[in-house]
Structure 1
Amino acid sequence: MKCFVCQAELSGSKILLRHLRLVHGFVPGKNLRLKCVETGCGSVFGTFSGFRKHLHIKHTEQSDQNSDTIDNSETAEAEGQISSQTFDQIGSVGEVATTSVLLMSNKSTLDMCASAVAQLKVAGLSQSAVSGFVSSMEEIVFEIHSQAKDAALLCLPPHDIATKRKIENSIEHMENPFTFLNSEAKRKRLFTEKWGTVEPTEIVLGTRFDSRRNKTTGTFDQVVVTDKVAYIPILETLKAILQNRHLTDLFKPRHVPKEGVYFDLSDAAHFKSNPLFYTDKDALQIQLFYDDFETANPLGSKKGIHKLGAIYFTLRNFPPIFNSSLDNIHLCALFHAQDIRRYGFNSIIEPLVNDLKVLEIEGVKNPVSGSCIKGTIVQVTGDNLGLHSLLGFLESFGAQYCCRFCVLEKDRFQFVFSEDNPEVVLRTTEMHALHCKRLQDDSTLPHVYGVKRVCLLNSLKYFNTANNFAVDIMHDILEGVAQLEVKLVLQYIQHNFLSADDLAGRIHAFDYGYNQQKNRPPSVKLFGGSNDLGLNAIQSWCLLRNMPLLFGDLVQRDDKHWCLLLLLLQIVNIVFSPVLTEGMTIYLKHLIIEHHQLFKKLFPQKNLLPKHHIMIHYPQCIRKIGPILHMWCMRYEAKHKFFKTQLKSFKNITKTLANKHQSCMAMHWESFSQYRLTLGPGKMVELDELKGGMEMASKLGVDISERVYSVKWIKHHGTEYRPDFIICTEVACEMPVFYKIKTIAVKDENVLLCGTLMETLCFDDHYHAFTVRMHPDRILKSVNVNELCYFKPFDLQMKYGTTDSALHIVPYCHFMQM
């Protein structure tokens, strides 16, 4: 048996597994990856039990044939020199019993038990439930020790008293790992030592009187309540992140910059003009996010009372696919939402701002390189209400000046559709400073041009709220503009072409494809006073993208209502694109103008939403900060689920949840891996047995007889790939090149997708989809999953309600030739 880490040769599967635990420190967890390297086998497992079964079934001849026949010389040599190298070569538990090995074994066992208990805490179990589990396991281990002692004693002859005493003493002195975990204080101390947990601190905001029911008398008494913020020091979190040596490669540039092409924040104007990033390309780029969420039942009597506000951050130095993982979204502060009204946002973020000032001037030490790395905030994102609240703008979008990008009056939103219009005066740092000064000079002013208060973030050296160009396409479009306009178009279709039942039937019966089956809209609210359809953001996106295939057969190609929908789809494809050009921002500007003008023409009685107005700033925002897809709130809001599902104490809910979160994050980061790959069921085969094996062998640079792991499906960084999915490998002659997946194979860290070429016939504007067919030459191609032009797979779909058998691929972004 060979170890995949150090390539040491071991004498059986039991020894191999023990070697992985003791020498290399592998412990169970969601990021555990154990690789089999026997006879070219590349199978990867996420559990010790799965790895053990694989070795016994697939590699029986090497498994444990030598386990019981190790000669005494090996054992003697092992007892003489215990080290991680010599321990690789020794036998199982019975072959060596030195103090060093026992200590390693005890530590390994304790690590496994600690990880199991930590996973229970992460799953949301209460402290009492975890304590009960640990107590039960402690008794079980004691009983196992007793049974092991009795069984060992029965194997000895009655007269061997000395050996019996040795066995009794040895087993009595065996450590019970759960004894070190049988109280919350012990667990917290062990987790801190094991994972280096960044502990939250409590910042006192102030005290106040509150009415509390006296359980004895039944009356309400006035009690003093201390309001606190659970703050996680951002400098300590950054130090913990930088300690991980696996992250070194992720700090390196991910692409070659091209003039006029926006891949990331570093390609855009704001980054290039920032003095810190201009002089230090490796400076930490911190992106903040703020939002409120309910921790109690949102429909119950406690609604609003236990509503919390959270500030998260991510490092934009890392690629977006890395930051999409919830483990890489870090908590900064947790507080009661009502405290914003009581004390103001500046009081809440003061400790964060103080740490950021240190980061800007002194930096944090990189434990790997030994140098100090500086950093600052690059952008603050969130929904419109959250951003206005944090940055000091008016929270009312019915106010005269309700835009944080310009000082255009709200009634002009219905007529001005471009930043090129002279009426649109964009906010600048100088203008914002004047507005803040007026507020400070005259405290009676409620606001000045929409500026309600001075934001403490403006005291930072390298950040100003006037240069915050973050927009959220999730709330602006998917939960705002798109739902309003899809609702109006559906009402138009229902009024002219279909009954309400037939319309609902189409939406329900349509085949949205495997990738979108979880996001299909359950039902839509077509009537009522609201502007939405009653869908969440991802359901809204699913319905919007599929609207042309759903109802395109009913309307004429020159139908103006249909043109409005198609214009919106073109806008959505651009703003959801991960790569854009300068020319695309100009095209986007004209699309938005045309779209808004057509909306007012078709629905003169309807007012454009403030979110419609924010769209006119999208082209400038892209030029300032790059693709705005990286700013949306979808993944940040998914982070709220952790706090909502935890069992919690409402006496000090912020501290309770912050502690649980930090323990969870420490555990995840201890077993961090930048390779997030989940494999479905499969088997080891030679490449010549697979369809496309020759192409795969050529791609890997190996012989056709090489063995690979053929799987039914994979999940790569959370994105699932299966046979019959469609992937885009490149864009040629301004048309995407699609392949239909036939085979998925894994060799070492390489994931290969082999597919059959699809012929892209045209882009059908009316159905807003590419018309495709199988290429007559049946060309096969193998591509590494990391080399895909656009990482999301597609489905082959058909129009609804026609005999047309043409196949279509619905785009989710604008395809651009790199």
Structure 2
Amino acid sequence: MKCFLCKSDHGSPNNLVKHFKVIHGLCTGRTLFLKCGQEGCSRSFGSFSGLRKHLNKCHGSSLVDSVESDLSYPQSTINTSNVFHVEESTEELEAESQLSSPYIVNSCSAVISDLKAAGVAQSTLNSVVTSMEEIVQDIHQHAKETVIKHVFSNERETEMCKKVEACFEGLENPFTILNSEYKRSKFMTDKWEMVEPIECVIGSRFDTRRNKKTGTYDQVVVQDKFMYIPILSTLQSIFKSPYVAEMLQRSATSDSRLRDICDGSFFKSHPLFSTEKQTIQIQMFYDDFEVANPLGPKRGIHKLGGVYFTLRNFSPKWNSFLANIHLCALFHAQDVKRYGFSEIFAPIVRDIKVLESDGIEIPLYNGFVRGTVVQVTGDNLGLHCLFGLVESFSARYCCRFCLAEKEDFQTEFSEDSSKIVLRTKDVHTAHCQEMACNPSLPYVFGVKRSCILNSLEYFHTTENFSVDVMHDVLEGVGQYELKLLFLYLKEKHVTSAEIHSRIQSFDYGFMERNNRPVAVNLSEGSNDLGLNASQSWCLLRNVPLIFGDLFTSTDQHWSLLLLLLQIINIIFSPMLSQGLCVYLKHLIVDHHTLFKKLYPQKNLLPKHHFLVHYPRCIQKIGPVLHSWCMRYEGKHNFFKKQLKSFKNITKTLAKKHQFHMAHSWRNSTTFSRFDIGPGKMVSLNMVKGGSGIAMAMQVPISIQVMKVNWAKHNGFVYRPNLVICGKVESEVPVFYQIESVLIMFEKLLLLTVPLVTVTFQEHFHAYEVIKSKQDYVFFHVDNLHYPRPFDIQMSYGGNDTTLLIVPYCFLW
């Protein structure tokens, strides 16, 4: 092997590459230029790996020193960075993958997937992979030379030396089969069963484009496209996962409480779900999101619409994982205005009709399983747009559940009212037919057009009971009423500066450290406080502690807040009874009535009216917390941080998402149920209360356990001094303060000290507790009555040392 610079001879391609790096100081980059230098060959390269492959293939048949020689090298094409990329055949890629260690290659592909998910640009990723390939190759060569030199220094021709050399030569560089976008995509499709997105044409239109040759502007035909991820293929991929069996498990219950959608009356009377034991229950979500800088000049131009789905077959704790939220379609939001939803949802509806009639084969169920859309969720505007209803909430009929007029929202606070007539299939069909007969009508009872989803056999928009507590309550009713309360405070008790000071200086505790509101907007021009949903929830829960000392128990403005908090606690409960649904119905009537009494000049928002339908929706589909938008909107963050180029962004983002999902569903840590912080191994007899654990679990007191500073289980962080709700006795929650967090037999145990629940202080909307001297009690996290931990707090000011626990929901 000759060097094209100094014409020196070298025994192998690896030695020649090492010569370039050490003697001539050549390194990877845009200026790297390498010539083959062998007799009769004029090929040139922009990377060491490209040159090495060429030498092994074309000039090193007798000096095979790299497993990369198995690659064919067709005609190369050069890119802007002078790095050559090759298109490999399927057979050669399969041969490469067979040479590689699956564990090592999977580890390397996981690193690449994490980099892609973090939004690393394609050029940067190629550079990192190429560098890692070179590093691994150098380590491999150095290890080989060191072993040969020290073990076989005088016996180079022995049979054992040849076997060692052959062993090194048989080692495959794990980055070789991942060093191009083509190879990575092929690997994901074959090994991780990546579901490839399909590019679909919505329609054509004329657009003005500048002609670069003439400098003039011409009218050209543009095809608008969107990306569709086949829902049937995604479902088949999901049910092949080894984690599915555990996700499908549900704890047996004998009571009539509402825990999930399968406990609601809608599911029990559904013509498909109630008759077939094994079905696929798809919950869809639609929303628009901005991928460009919201303050930049491209705002709105690159706004995308996304359709996601989850499987309600899985319990809510599993559906909270972002990996369980699957992409179904990705399109430009502007295309909805041009063509409507029919073209975009056409392939989705086509596949779901196949699922409804024929089903898909699932080995887990030993046969074909049918399914359909069980619910569609989203914010109010998105659902109205998708369902073909009016998109203005100032319209006369702006409720998707009933035919009440806008003026009736201020007087009718219960579905029992004669003025609140619920929408039905027949009534909705009649409205759609009237619109079809007379297209000049703006709308008929709020209906503008038919929805393509209504063509499904087992779904209809009038039987969609999903509501969004995030937008209705946390970003709507809650902030609206808090602002009115603060304005009342400002008028009667304190200054605006004092309100801000109390909010900013209050100790919200460890659990709310990231959600504490920084500032609130008290200007008269809007109905909100300028907070996001998490900050709003944090402030709503803690307002009684922050401002409770300024109000008397007879102040009706304070009573209005407490009524709202009772409503929120029931709505946010993961488990409800039929009795609570009836109680919620009366609470809403009392709240709305008191609001109109205190603020006769203020109108109830449309979101106040939507609350009227919440009790029926809960009875139909169970806790509405399981269908809110919070987790779905968290999925938007993946797309927002990925984009580096705005050319064909839907295709780019869809491919990146599917790449990441393929990795996530094959990664054993994606659905890990708990994560732990720093800790140490200790004997159980060295832990306070360890004897009780040893006796209950029937293990020796000398057994070693891990004591950690914190542990995260199903999204909740447990650490010493936090409080858990272990059980409920006589409709009173029993709280326990965490003393130690232990890992034993791969189980998360909480060693706690019982607290005494004195009473529920209604004025502060919190439970008063005192510390007890009872013996230690330990819990497994799966056996807690309510999994979310609490902080022990005190009211504002410091004069009152009463210990208080603010609930997140209704606890009994």
- What interval of TM-score do these two structures reach, taking the shorter chain for normalisation? 0.7 to 0.9
- State the Cα deviation string for residues 521-544 of structure 1 (Å, max 9, x = none): 000001131101000001001001
1:392 aligned to which of 373, 388, 395: 388
CA distance in structure 2 between the aligned counterparts of 1:394 and 1:672, rounded to whole angstroms: 46
Counterpart of 2:125, as a letter, is V
Q: How does 1:471-490 map to 2 (within 5 A)?
A: 471-490=467-486
Helix, strand or coil at the partner of 1:287: strand
CA distance in structure 2 between the aligned counterparts of 1:246 and 1:541, rounded to whole angstroms: 33
Label 1:162 to 1:224 Cα distance change in 2 as closer, same or farther (>3 A).
Answer: farther
Aligned residue number for residue 356 of structure 1? 352
CA distance in structure 1 between the aligned counterparts of 2:689 and 2:215, rounded to whole angstroms: 77
Aligned residue number for residue 564 of structure 1? 560
Counterpart of 1:224, as a letter, is V
Aligned residue number for residue 111 of structure 2? 116
Label 1:401 to 1:743 Cα distance change in 2 as closer, same or farther (>3 A).
Answer: same
- State the Cα deviation string for residues 311-357 of structure 1 (Å, max 9, x = none): 11111111111100101111110000011111111111110011111
CA distance in structure 2 between the aligned counterparts of 1:759 and 1:692, rounded to whole angstroms: 19
CA distance in structure 2 between the aligned counterparts of 1:733 and 1:108, rounded to whole angstroms: 54
1:149 aligned to which of 144, 150, 160: 144
Label 1:643 to 1:103 Cα distance change in 2 as closer, same or farther (>3 A).
Answer: closer
Aligned residue number for residue 456 of structure 2? 460
Helix, strand or coil at the partner of 2:223: strand
Helix, strand or coil at the partner of 2:331: strand
1:509 aligned to which of 501, 505, 508: 505
CA distance in structure 2 between the aligned counterparts of 1:383 and 1:621, rounded to whole angstroms: 16
Does residue 258 of structure 1 match 2:255?
A: yes
CA distance in structure 1 between the aligned counterparts of 2:99 and 2:253, rounded to whole angstroms: 47
Counterpart of 1:553, as a letter, is D
Aligned residue number for residue 276 of structure 1? 272
- State the Cα deviation string for residues 686-713 of structure 1 (Å, max 9, x = none): 2211112122223423232222211111
How far is the alpha carbon of 1:438 from its aligned partner? Answer: 1.4
Label 1:218 to 1:740 Cα distance change in 2 as closer, same or farther (>3 A).
Answer: farther
How far is the alpha carbon of 1:633 from its aligned partner? Answer: 0.5
Label 1:596 to 1:182 Cα distance change in 2 as closer, same or farther (>3 A).
Answer: same
How far is the alpha carbon of 1:170 from its aligned partner? Answer: 5.1
- State the Cα deviation string for residues 220-263 of structure 1 (Å, max 9, x = none): 4333221112111111111011112332233233331523x211
2:600 aligned to which of 604, 613, 623: 604
Helix, strand or coil at the partner of 2:519: coil
CA distance in structure 2 between the aligned counterparts of 1:398 and 1:534, rounded to whole angstroms: 22
Deviates more, 1:236-245 or 1:698-707: 698-707
Decide whether the 8 Å contact of 2:377 with 2:467 is kept in 1: yes
Counterpart of 1:132, as a letter, is S
CA distance in structure 1 between the aligned counterparts of 2:303 and 2:559, rounded to whole angstroms: 42
CA distance in structure 1 between the aligned counterparts of 2:692 and 2:311, rounded to whole angstroms: 38
Does residue 703 of structure 1 match 2:700?
A: yes
Label 1:109 to 1:675 Cα distance change in 2 as closer, same or farther (>3 A).
Answer: closer
Helix, strand or coil at the partner of 1:177: coil
How far is the alpha carbon of 1:367 from its aligned partner? Answer: 2.3
2:397 aligned to which of 390, 398, 401: 401
2:730 aligned to which of 730, 733, 747: 733
- The normalised TM-score by structure 2 is 0.86
* Equivalenced residues, count: 714
Helix, strand or coil at the partner of 1:228: strand
Counterpart of 1:124, as a letter, is G
Does residue 196 of structure 1 match 2:176?
A: no
CA distance in structure 2 between the aligned counterparts of 1:315 and 1:701, rounded to whole angstroms: 39
Decide whether the 8 Å contact of 2:573 with 2:810 is kept in 1: yes
How far is the alpha carbon of 1:372 from its aligned partner? Answer: 1.1
1:646 aligned to which of 636, 639, 642: 642
1:289 aligned to which of 277, 282, 285: 285
Decide whether the 8 Å contact of 1:199 with 1:232 is kept in 2: yes
Helix, strand or coil at the partner of 2:800: coil
CA distance in structure 2 between the aligned counterparts of 1:220 and 1:478, rounded to whole angstroms: 49
- State the Cα deviation string for residues 349-394 of structure 1 (Å, max 9, x = none): 1100111111111111112343111111111000000111111111
CA distance in structure 1 between the aligned counterparts of 2:154 and 2:583, rounded to whole angstroms: 93
Decide whether the 8 Å contact of 2:226 with 2:650 is kept in 1: yes
Aligned residue number for residue 741 of structure 2? 744
CA distance in structure 2 between the aligned counterparts of 1:466 and 1:806, rounded to whole angstroms: 49
- State the Cα deviation string for residues 718-775 of structure 1 (Å, max 9, x = none): 1100000000011111110000000111112321111111100011111110111012
CA distance in structure 1 between the aligned counterparts of 2:579 and 2:573, rounded to whole angstroms: 14
How far is the alpha carbon of 1:682 from its aligned partner? Answer: 1.2
Label 1:248 to 1:438 Cα distance change in 2 as closer, same or farther (>3 A).
Answer: same
Decide whether the 8 Å contact of 1:135 with 1:182 is kept in 2: yes
CA distance in structure 2 between the aligned counterparts of 1:245 and 1:308, rounded to whole angstroms: 33
Aligned residue number for residue 94 of structure 1? none
How far is the alpha carbon of 1:287 from its aligned partner? Answer: 0.5
- State the Cα deviation string for residues 142-164 of structure 1 (Å, max 9, x = none): 32233223323322334634566
CA distance in structure 1 between the aligned counterparts of 2:232 and 2:696, rounded to whole angstroms: 44
CA distance in structure 2 between the aligned counterparts of 1:105 and 1:774, rounded to whole angstroms: 60
Does residue 636 of structure 1 match 2:655?
A: no
Does residue 330 of structure 1 match 2:326?
A: yes
Aligned residue number for residue 724 of structure 1? 721
Does residue 424 of structure 1 match 2:420?
A: yes
Decide whether the 8 Å contact of 2:177 with 2:184 is kept in 1: yes
Helix, strand or coil at the partner of 1:557: coil
Decide whether the 8 Å contact of 2:643 with 2:649 is kept in 1: no
Aligned residue number for residue 18 of structure 2? none
Decide whether the 8 Å contact of 1:648 with 1:657 is kept in 2: no
Identity of aligned residues (%): 53
CA distance in structure 2 between the aligned counterparts of 1:735 and 1:234, rounded to whole angstroms: 46
Aligned residue number for residue 711 of structure 2? 714
Decide whether the 8 Å contact of 1:380 with 1:468 is kept in 2: yes
Decide whether the 8 Å contact of 1:417 with 1:616 is kept in 2: yes
Does residue 308 of structure 1 match 2:310?
A: no
CA distance in structure 1 between the aligned counterparts of 2:539 and 2:238, rounded to whole angstroms: 39
- State the Cα deviation string for residues 36-82 of structure 1 (Å, max 9, x = none): xxxxxxxxxxxxxxxxxxxxxxxxxxxxxxxxxxxxxxxxxxxxxxx
How far is the alpha carbon of 1:119 from its aligned partner? Answer: 1.9
| Unmatched tracts of structure 2, length 5 or more | 1-94
Aligned residue number for residue 680 of structure 1? 677
CA distance in structure 1 between the aligned counterparts of 2:268 and 2:102, rounded to whole angstroms: 50
Decide whether the 8 Å contact of 1:506 with 1:550 is kept in 2: yes
- State the Cα deviation string for residues 782-808 of structure 1 (Å, max 9, x = none): 111001101100000001014111000
Helix, strand or coil at the partner of 1:291: strand
- State the Cα deviation string for residues 482-514 of structure 1 (Å, max 9, x = none): 001001101111221111111111111100010
Label 1:103 to 1:217 Cα distance change in 2 as closer, same or farther (>3 A).
Answer: closer
Deviates more, 1:464-473 or 1:705-714: 705-714
Does residue 769 of structure 1 match 2:766?
A: yes
CA RMSD in angstroms comes to 1.8
Does residue 139 of structure 1 match 2:131?
A: no
How far is the alpha carbon of 1:175 from its aligned partner? Answer: 2.5
The structure showing larger relative contact order (alpha-carbon pairs under 8 Å, at least 6 residues apart) is 1
Decide whether the 8 Å contact of 2:250 with 2:315 is kept in 1: no
CA distance in structure 2 between the aligned counterparts of 1:166 and 1:529, rounded to whole angstroms: 81
How far is the alpha carbon of 1:191 from its aligned partner? Answer: 1.6
CA distance in structure 2 between the aligned counterparts of 1:622 and 1:107, rounded to whole angstroms: 48
CA distance in structure 2 between the aligned counterparts of 1:371 and 1:682, rounded to whole angstroms: 47
CA distance in structure 1 between the aligned counterparts of 2:145 and 2:246, rounded to whole angstroms: 54
Label 1:433 to 1:140 Cα distance change in 2 as closer, same or farther (>3 A).
Answer: same
Does residue 555 of structure 1 match 2:551?
A: yes
Decide whether the 8 Å contact of 1:699 with 1:782 is kept in 2: no
CA distance in structure 2 between the aligned counterparts of 1:796 and 1:165, rounded to whole angstroms: 70
Aligned residue number for residue 32 of structure 2? none
CA distance in structure 1 between the aligned counterparts of 2:335 and 2:643, rounded to whole angstroms: 23
Q: How does 1:533-548 map to 2 (within 5 A)?
A: 533-548=529-544
CA distance in structure 1 between the aligned counterparts of 2:174 and 2:100, rounded to whole angstroms: 11
